Amino acid sequence: MRYRLFGRSGLRVSELALGTMTFGEAWGWGAPREESRKIFTRFAEAGGNFVDTANNYTEGESETFVGEFVRAERERWVVATKYTLTTQRDDPNAGGNHRKNLVRSLEGSLRRLGTDYVDLLWLHMRDATTPVEEAVRALDDQVRAGKVLYVGISDSPAWVAAQANTLAELRGWTPFVGLQLPYSLLDRDSERDLFPMAAAFGLTITAWGTLEQGILSGTRPDERLRERGQLSERAQGAVDALQAVAAAHDCSPARVAIAWVRSRPAPPEIVPILGTRTEQQMLDNLGALEVELTPEEIERLDSVAAPRLGFPRDFLESSHVRGLIYGETWERLVLTA
């Protein structure tokens, strides 16, 4: 396992993150405590130090398990949790981005994790009723109080993250250093706006859903695609290409799917999140670190499931419009990240 700097910070995180939404059985699926511990141990043995949870995962079981597992070496671990999603559906203030819910959620997370601080707190999803400036200032207060070291934003529009970090810079508040979103060979919508925004603000992306709930793992992909009504020519082509590349590397399609995400050009930097329900699945996923895709294989996978970026990117990046803007200069520009 190698390590990456997380966003515009000096925080070092492992190049793969451990996702723990599967820790606990309160939702009727997931891994019991002992299997969760085995998954955690395998990740730690591989050199992982970055673990991701949330206040609502498996009704709090996930945070409880994570707190128990990291306790012996708490300072070694980069523990990330999230706030926003409701924990009491009949209480109007038990969910959202606002200050009251932030304080309530964070205090509950700290109790379950058995710690007095979290390394990274994610705003889990955008709440359209809370002003962005309230959320950013409330997060900054928790950093100043020492209960949070870094902050990030998850599953939200690009303009919200951009507005938040611009406000933070202007007002001396704590900026977001990370962006969490779904990303896989089959789900590349984030390349439209979120990736360019992350690159511009120096945010590290943590990507969830890299195996599309098993569709890209090689485990009965056709049946899973049919169950989800996604048996499109594009989806089937992606699965077929993954299987062909996996056969060439004598490994599982899951490893290739994760390796493809790791191969994406930076910026932005991407840290895939591994979320498994068994120790064996974790061992297989960690094997992605050993898969080095050739440029030809990357091109094959890129092309078989290429996204339609839409307006304005398709428009602004077309040869015709670049000619209108730059004349003959574009091809002669030396651009650096």
Do 146 and 208 reside in the same domain of the chain?
yes
Per-residue CA distances from 44 to 17, 75, 124, 141 (Å): 10, 14, 25, 32
Do 186 and 333 reside in the same domain of the chain?
no
Do 175 and 282 reside in the same domain of the chain?
yes
CA 328 to chain CA centroid, nearest Å: 39
Do 233 and 300 reside in the same domain of the chain?
yes
Would you give per-residue pLDDT tens digits along the chain (337 residues)? 999 999 999 999 999 999 999 999 999 999 999 999 999 999 999 999 999 999 999 999 999 999 999 999 999 999 999 999 999 999 999 999 999 999 999 999 999 999 999 999 999 999 999 999 999 999 999 999 999 999 999 999 999 999 999 999 999 999 999 999 999 999 999 999 999 999 999 999 999 999 998 889 877 666 666 666 656 788 888 999 999 999 999 999 999 999 999 999 999 999 999 999 999 999 999 999 999 999 999 999 999 989 999 999 999 999 999 999 999 999 899 876 5
Peptide bond just before 312 cis, omega within 30 deg: yes
DSSP 148: E
Do 334 and 213 reside in the same domain of the chain?
no
Q: How far apart are CA 179 and CA 192, in angstroms?
A: 15
Do 141 and 183 reside in the same domain of the chain?
yes
Do 329 and 257 reside in the same domain of the chain?
no
Do 136 and 224 reside in the same domain of the chain?
yes
Q: What domain count does the chain have?
A: 2
Pairing of strands 3-5, 12-14: antiparallel
Tokens linked to 44: 């730690």
Q: How far apart are the first and last CA of the chain?
A: 25
Q: How far apart are CA 231 and CA 219, in angstroms?
A: 15
Q: Reply yes or no on whether 3 is catalytic.
A: no
- Cβ-contact 89, 130 below 8 angstroms: no
- Which residues on neighbouring strands pair with residue 205, listed in sequence order? 179, 270
Point out the catalytic residue in the list 57, 83, 150, 183: 57
Do 322 and 293 reside in the same domain of the chain?
no
Q: Model-level pTM? A: 0.94
CATH number reported for the structural domain that contains residue 131 in this entry? 3.20.20.100
Do 75 and 165 reside in the same domain of the chain?
yes
Domain holding 100, by residue range, is 3-306
Q: How far apart are CA 13 and CA 7, in angstroms?
A: 10
Do 8 and 111 reside in the same domain of the chain?
yes
Residues 6+ apart with CB under 8 A from 189: 307
Helix (H) or strand (E) holding 81: strand 78-83
Do 232 and 334 reside in the same domain of the chain?
no
